[in-house]
Structure 1
Amino acid sequence: MAKKYVYSCIDRANITGTVDAVEENTPFITDKFVNLIVYTSRKEPSTAKDRINVVVNKKLLGNITEGSCVKIAGAIQTKTVNGHLYIYIFAYDITEVEAGTAMDTDQLKFEGYLCKKPVLRKTPFSNRTVCDCVLAINDRGMSYYVPCICWSKNAKKMAQSAVGDKFYVSGRLQSREYVKNEKTYVINEVSVYHIDEFSFDSEDD
């Protein structure tokens, strides 16, 4: 049985999707772990899928392999290796489920501090208002720097915030491709559905 994780802050991820690959040699894991490439479907009418890294202790893996449909509970974490930021779900529990019996899910809830000035902009094609920001999750002496994108009202709210402000965030971990030097890369970021600014006055009550 997996050891129950004790949260020192809010950082919860629930993912259901299909394992596309099992990687043992990736820059952000040690020998005790594997990285699962899990694909989750976005909500209709979109047919897009998000590619998510899930780090799992080998002891929890069981018979899970490529093609397995899995349900994962964990936390969002990041690690920078050679200047590249890797974003992944660190799994505390993973269960294989029968294909077709569970809808794909991609749900994140966490608390984080704004650690650099947010950037308000318009998307190039749809001209939507968005805000790019980075939130730091501080958990048990570690800091995980999570790139986020906020939309519409959330974008304007985040753009008016100051470095050091604390937020409760709910959203999903999305992936997107970009091309650099004729090579295609995949990056992840949190698409924010809802944000609440944390009041330090309320914490003292």
Structure 2
Amino acid sequence: MGPIIIVDLLMLVACCQGVKIIWDNDIEVDLNEIDDDSGRSGERRVPNWFFIFPGTKWCGAGNIAENDADLGTERDTDKCCRTHDMCPDIIEGHATKYGLENPSFYTRLICDCDEDFYRCLKSVNTKTSTQVGHIYFTGLGTQCYKQEYPIAGCNKYTTFPRRKCLEYIYNKGMPKKYQWFDIRNF
């Protein structure tokens, strides 16, 4: 799972509730100092491991590994997450790259990285890899980006848990360009 995605989702929830997150290592996450009616900001202490999937060191927000070779007891699933976390082509939240503006508050990855992550988790085929896959691909349901012919429509949708295009229609008469694509459910 991407290193920023789950943290950002938690931060959105916390922000809306006027909570300031303070990590175990005393790094403070600024949530725009939203005050409650009393004029005081809420505070919650969250351990770093809170966002890491049990049995892994790389599946979740960031990682708790001591080095790149350090893996949890769910080694094969952790390898998938480590590779995904190290995706070399990302667009940070609210950033622009390739003419695409990421309107989300979380990082989006190039589709190749998400597709490799999907295949990796499927090939591991354990309870943990399946749970991680469902959380990232079905639960978060983000989008990825790639360079393709312009999207002209959609032939096939999934509607659970949210509407996503499963089969795109392309305008092959136009040059390829970078654009957003729905990631498939796990």
Q: Which has the higher helix share?
A: 2
Q: Which has the higher strand share?
A: 1
Which category of TM-score, normalised to the shorter sequence, fits these structures? under 0.3
TM-score, with length taken from structure 2: 0.25
TM-score, with length taken from structure 1: 0.23
